[in-house]
């Protein structure tokens, strides 16, 4: 049997990752992406970025978490003003321990805003679509990973009759929630689906907000970023035999996105439907947004790496992760019909 060491000292890796630098919202710049950050500083980063570009952005919330934390994002818009163009919605960190997702979503927002005035391609993107970036859609769990348990995944919801806490928000969306084999009914499991479909406050907030955006503007694209495994996936998660509408086009776009990632960084990503590419997953945001809300294009991506560092990805890989993920995102923006 071949064996390999993933972390020489996982505790040391976590400690190094959690040495958060001091941050001032008045000085938002690219050094933000040199390290991971405390949750409060992520909110400060979004506010500071918005204040630097007040005519092209605003802070938005898509409701509140179980513990009352606002699910905070930043809305980018171009020359036509806000709320009048098809929407692109990007989620990160629904699973609390996936810190690289937070940074990548923020990298997208930073890249688009800081280059809008000087890059004609980016200007065209932002003038064509409204972008809504939500770096942390599970704030309660994310805070818990920074204070108590770095490997925590779920929210912090209680379950009657169990001492175990947390529901997996990304197994709780009210579409094919009852399908078997794609989530756990054990409250102590990391992928506990909840006691009923859509019983997490985060699902209720996110789905209601997104339905409103779809009705007002139309929803062009939804992507949910995760870690890790280096995958770029399409619906469905609930079934390996069901075929999503527009599947041929979705697979073509996913194939192009992973080729763009490869060309940018040399890293290999696999693509395909969720169920056959990674595993069966019921009650996921991607399946719900695709079929219930009706996003025109819907994807999910597992970012770096393939297991060498796993969830505790070194900070030195934040910028490369952002660059390659943006290459895939850019491909979609250029090639969606």
Among 26-30, 52-56, 108-112, 325-329, whose mean pLDDT is lowest? 26-30
User: What integer pLDDT is reported at residue 71 of this predicted model?
Assistant: 99
The answer to whether residue 4 scores a pLDDT higher than 70 is: no
Mean pLDDT computed over 92-119: 99
Q: What pLDDT is recorded for position 249?
A: 98
pLDDT of residue 3: 40
Per-residue model confidence as pLDDT tens digits over 260-294? 999 999 999 999 999 999 999 999 999 999 999 99
Give me the mean pLDDT over the 73-92 stretch: 97
pLDDT value of residue 312? 98
* Residue whose C-alpha is closest to residue 135's, from 89, 103, 157: 103
Q: Which domains does the chain have, with CATH numbers?
A: 10-335 (3.40.630.10)
User: Is 296 assigned a catalytic role?
Assistant: no
What does the pLDDT average to over 250-259?
Answer: 99
Which tens digits make up the pLDDT trace of 296-318? 999 999 999 999 999 999 999 99
Q: Is 181 within 8 Å of 282 (Cβ atoms)?
A: yes
Percent of the chain residues past pLDDT 70, beyond the cut: 96
Which residue in the list 17, 98, 296, 302 is annotated as catalytic? 302
pLDDT, residue 9, reads: 64
Average pLDDT on 103-114 reads 99
CA angle (91, 87, 173) in 5-degree steps: 45
Distance in angstroms between the alpha carbons of the first and the last residue of the chain: 49
Q: What is the mean pLDDT of the chain?
A: 96
pLDDT for the residue 25 = 74
Given a cut of 90, whether residue 97 has pLDDT beyond it is yes
Residue 2 has pLDDT above 70, yes or no: no
Per-residue pLDDT, 7: 54
**What tens digit of pLDDT does each residue of 199-229 get?**
999 999 999 999 999 999 999 999 999 999 9
State whether residue 193 is helix, strand or coil.
coil
Tokens encoding 8: 């020489």
pLDDT of amino acid 6: 60
- Distance from C-alpha of 141 to C-alpha of 156, rounded to nearest angstrom: 6
What are the phi and psi torsion angles at 279 (to 5°)?
-175, 170
Q: Is the pLDDT of residue 111 over 80?
A: yes
Give pLDDT tens digits for 229-239.
Answer: 999 999 999 99
Average pLDDT over residues 139-162: 98
């Amino acid at each position: 049997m071949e064996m390999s060491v993933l972390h020489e000292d996982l505790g040391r890796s976590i400690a190094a990752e959690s040495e958060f630098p001091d941050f001032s919202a008045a000085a938002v710049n690219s050094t933000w992406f040199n390290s991971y950050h405390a949750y409060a500083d992520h909110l400060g980063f979004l506010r500071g970025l918005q204040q630097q570009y007040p005519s092209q952005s605003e802070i938005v919330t898509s409701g509140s978490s179980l513990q009352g934390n606002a699910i905070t994002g930043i809305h980018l818009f171009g020359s036509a003003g806000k709320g009048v163009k098809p929407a692109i919605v990007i989620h990160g960190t629904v699973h609390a321990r996936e810190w690289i997702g937070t940074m990548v979503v923020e990298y997208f927002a930073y890249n688009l805003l800081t280059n809008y005035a000087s890059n004609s391609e980016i200007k065209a993107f932002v003038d064509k679509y409204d972008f809504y970036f939500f770096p942390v859609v599970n704030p309660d769990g994310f805070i818990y990973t920074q204070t108590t348990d770095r490997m925590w995944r779920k929210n912090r919801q209680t379950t009657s009759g169990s001492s175990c806490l947390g529901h997996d928000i990304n197994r709780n969306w009210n579409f094919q929630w009852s399908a078997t084999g794609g989530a756990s009914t054990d409250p102590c499991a990391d992928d506990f689906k909840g006691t009923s479909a859509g019983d997490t406050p985060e699902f209720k907030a996110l789905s209601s907000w997104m339905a409103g955006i779809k009705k007002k503007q139309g929803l062009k694209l939804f992507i949910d970023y995760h870690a890790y495994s280096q995958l770029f996936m399409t619906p469905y998660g609930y079934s390996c035999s069901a075929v999503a509408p527009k599947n041929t086009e979705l697979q073509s776009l996913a194939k192009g996105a992973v080729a763009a990632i490869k060309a940018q960084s040399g890293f290999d990503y696999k693509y395909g439907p969720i169920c056959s590419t990674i595993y069966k997953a019921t009650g996921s945001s991607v399946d719900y947004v695709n079929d219930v809300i009706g996003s025109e294009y819907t994807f999910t991506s597992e970012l770096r790496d393939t297991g060498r560092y796993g969830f505790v990805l070194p900070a030195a890989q934040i910028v490369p992760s952002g660059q390659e993920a943006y290459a895939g995102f850019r491909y979609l923006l250029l090639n969606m019909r």
